[in-house]
């Protein structure tokens, strides 16, 4: 069974999406036509895949890399705990049911 997530776009609309094992979280959003530019192609260098996660989920994912954190701190709406680059989040069955919110465009 694919993992399912709820994505909230910048208008507040919720989308139920299937997360396949070979996708990063950024790819799930982009491939379902949500407005995630992903201009760097997932190499943690553009921040256009900035998302907010619930704090409990973000904590479970562990520390962000120094590069990820540096980009996020410059991004619009940065949240010390919940901000993540979706391209840096690999599929994990344990993430089934999470809610992910698109951050404002930088
Ligand atoms: S897609 Fe560019 S930082 Fe994630």
Pocket test for ligand 1, best of 34, 43, 84, 103 (most atoms within 8 A of CB): 43
- Please report the domains of the chain, with CATH numbers, ordered by start residue: 3-102 (3.10.20.30)
How far is residue 43 from each of residues 3, 38, 57, 60, 93, measured CA to CA in Å?
23, 9, 22, 22, 23
Please, are residues 63 and 89 in contact by the beta-carbon 8 Å criterion? no
- Report pTM: 0.95
Q: How confident is the model at residue 9 (pLDDT cuts 50, 70, 90)?
A: very high
95 CB less than 6 Å from ligand 1?
A: no
Asked whether the beta carbons of 64 and 78 are under 8 A apart, the reply is no
Q: Is the CB–ligand 1 distance for residue 87 below 6 Å?
A: yes
- Average pLDDT score over residue span 22-34: 98
Q: Compute the distance from residue 30 Cα to the ligand 1 centre, in Å.
A: 11
Q: Tens digit of pLDDT for each residue in 72-90?
A: 999 999 999 999 999 999 9
E strands, the chain, in order: 3-8, 14-19, 50-53, 83-85, 99-102
């Amino acid at each position: 069974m694919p993992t399912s997530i709820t994505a909230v776009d910048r208008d507040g609309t919720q989308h139920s999406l299937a997360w396949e094992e070979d996708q990063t979280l950024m790819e799930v959003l982009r491939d379902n036509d949500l407005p995630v530019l992903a201009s760097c192609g997932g190499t943690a260098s553009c921040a256009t895949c900035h998302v907010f996660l619930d704090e409990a989920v973000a904590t479970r994912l562990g520390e962000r890399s120094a590069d990820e954190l540096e980009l996020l701190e410059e991004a619009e709406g940065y949240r010390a705990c919940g901000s993540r680059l979706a391209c840096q989040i690999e599929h994990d069955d344990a993430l089934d049911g999470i809610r992910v919110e698109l951050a404002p465009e930088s």
